[in-house]
Amino acid sequence: MYTHILVPLDGSKTAEAGLREALALAHDQGAAVRVLHVLDPSAAAVDMLTAAECSSVLDALHEQGKALLARVSRRARRRGIPCDTVLRERGEEGVAGVILDEAAQWDCDLVVMGTHGRRGLPHMLGSTAQAVLRHTPVPVLLVRSQR
């Protein structure tokens, strides 16, 4: 039985598929959910911006992340699922490293996340889901988005 389910979200439809599965599982198991959003400025091409533009983009990313987590928290609580949220910035360890760190800190017993299930070059370069799967000591449920 699972008691602490970590759900990393990036706002994508793929992550939404993972969230739906995690909430259903948490409801069935009576588990608590922690939803993690990792701010990843590199995804917004921050390196190409001036300092003022960079600050504005980072502020916007932070606000979007807070809004996403607030929506998810309300959704979980409406279903009677204990839920807390965490907003963290990507560090040198990358997004996967932040997810792994949060899983260890919270002592979760399951990570549920969406995956694109891509093949070819993106697959060869590796994905966040693959990195989490390779390095976490707890079970990982990967949910492929519907195409």
Residue 118 has pLDDT above 60, yes or no: no
- Which tokens sit at 104? 């260890």
* 125 pLDDT more than 50: no
Q: What is the mean pLDDT of the chain?
A: 86
Distance set, CA 84 to CA 21, 27, 69, 73, 117 (Å): 17, 15, 9, 7, 28
Give bridge partners of residue 32 from the DSSP assignment.
4
Task: Please report the beta strands in the chain, taking only residues with DSSP state E, as ranges in sequence order.
Answer: 4-9, 32-39, 83-89, 110-115, 140-144
Per-residue pLDDT of 15-52, as tens digits, reads 999 999 999 999 999 999 999 999 887 655 545 556 55
Cβ count within 10 A of residue 126: 12
Residue 18: per-residue pLDDT: 94
Rounded to whole angstroms, the Cα distance separating 91 from 22 reads 26
Q: What is the pLDDT of residues 100-111, one digit of tens each?
A: 999 999 999 999
Q: Which two tokens stand for residue 117?
A: 């299930």
What residue numbers bound the domain in which 29 lies?
4-144
Taking the C-alpha atoms of residue 71 and residue 92, their distance in angstroms, rounded to an integer, is 28
The domain total for the chain is 1
Looking at residue 140, which CATH number applies to its domain? 3.40.50.620
